[in-house]
Amino acid sequence: MPNSKHFPSFKASLPSMAGKTVVITGTTSGTGQIAAMTTAGLGAKVLILNRNSERSVNSGRELAATNPEAHIEQVECDLQSFDSVSAAAARVAELCPEGVHVLANNAGVMALSDTATKDGFDVQMQTNHLSHFLLTRELMPLLERAAESSGDARVVNHSSVARMSPSKTLRADYLEPRGGHLGGDGSKLDNLMFRGPRWRRYNQSKLANAAFTAALHQRLQATGSRVKALVAHPGLANTHLQKTSVKEGGMGSFFTDMFMRTSQSPEDGAMGLLSCMCLPEATSGQFYGPGSGPFAMRGEAKPFALEAFYDNAETRDLLWSKSEEAIGRTFEV
Ligand SMILES: NC(=O)c1ccc[n+]([C@@H]2O[C@H](COP(=O)([O-])OP(=O)(O)OC[C@H]3O[C@@H](n4cnc5c(N)ncnc54)[C@H](OP(=O)(O)O)[C@@H]3O)[C@@H](O)[C@H]2O)c1
């Protein structure tokens, strides 16, 4: 595991999160786990949303043991199921009458096989984007409540360098219930080279994360809301993400091991996410990560502007209308 180069000084610069309620998806490992540990240590009330597993039980225990003073709540949430997401949102509402100051839509999967969720969508698109779209819709009244009372609430999405490759164009069919019929699983060579249909589906889901941020930002601004919409990317961080992809056949272990020698630690990778979640100077419509280009794999997180290839009227409208259609509900900001 690579050493953290920037995280210790970054962490020391973060403000207190006392009095804030933070909701994070996917905290069993990686950037979500670091975000939960860090915000709990800074005094926030932290709700961790995970699907049921040994990993969720163990990581929840570790979070509570490391932060004995913190108010931590575990909420079951399987992002492969809209019913589970709706139930999780209802539980968050019960647990947070004070509202939600930060919703971090962090959880994700990468290069999985061409499989449908029980709702019929591609497993990567539903886990990475559609379920987060639904969660955000359901929690928006709580975010508005926190913004009203404290002047600051945020939705933070977690994208990737993969948002721009192989395609910069968001496509409607990837947001439709066509799970299992979106290109297949690719050849062994495709998967060794991080290309082919599994990677295209990941690309579309991470492009959707950025387009969702742009569309949400625009809608929030238009209504004069004080809720912010931000997006982060971690560069290349050594987390469980790649291990799952290798196990599921989306990456070869030899090349992945070689490639991951160039990665940064999960802590350094979490700096973009935590910047969006915690920094007072972070404004709506900003992107935080180790740079905006295709080779921004390591380094300190810095802000940059949303990019024109998804922050345009056509893509924002496509993202919003197809996501509403997918969840079967309108999302009025
Ligand atoms: N690591 C990188 O280099 C990199 C690069 C670009 C973007 N990202 C993005 O960073 C985010 C965090 O990933 P990571 O690198 O920290 O990977 P990770 O260590 O694998 O963490 C992913 C988290 O998502 C959770 N998750 C997956 N499927 C879920 C489901 N159906 N319901 C609920 N939770 C689910 C996992 O929980 P389980 O234990 O239940 O699987 C885990 O807690 C992702 O959105 C990823 O796309 C990472």
Q: Does 244 contact ligand 1 (Cβ within 6 A)?
A: yes
pLDDT of residue 255 exceeding 90: no
Query: Is pLDDT of 1 > 90?
Result: no
Mean pLDDT of 205-214: 99
Is pLDDT above 90 for 171? yes
Residue 163: CB within 6 Å of ligand 1?
no
Is residue 113 scored above 90 in pLDDT? yes
At 2, is the pLDDT very low, low, confident or very high (cuts 50, 70, 90)?
A: confident
How close is the Cα of 26 to the center of ligand 1, in Å?
Answer: 6
Residue of 27, 31, 212 to test ligand 1 pocket, by largest number of atoms within 8 Å of CB: 31
Residue 77 has pLDDT above 90, yes or no: yes
Q: Where are the domains of the chain?
A: 7-324
Closest atom of ligand 1 to 239 CA is 19
Query: pLDDT digits over 279-312, tens only?
Result: 999 999 999 999 999 999 999 999 999 999 999 9
7-324 carries CATH number 3.40.50.720:
yes
Residue whose CA lies nearest to ligand 1 atom number 43: 26
At 175, is the pLDDT very low, low, confident or very high (cuts 50, 70, 90)?
Answer: very high
Burial-class residue 6 by CB neighbours within 10 Å (0-12, 13-18, 19+). middle
pLDDT per position as a tens digit, 54-67: 999 999 999 999 99
Q: What pLDDT score was predicted for residue 156?
A: 99
Q: What is the mean pLDDT of residues 65-90?
A: 98
Pocket test for ligand 1, best of 77, 240, 256 (most atoms within 8 A of CB): 240
Q: Is the CB of 239 under 6 A from ligand 1?
A: yes
**Pair 177, 137: CB distance under 8 Å:** no
Tokens 């404004």 sit on residue: 283
Q: How far is the CA of 225 from the centre of ligand 1 (A)?
A: 29
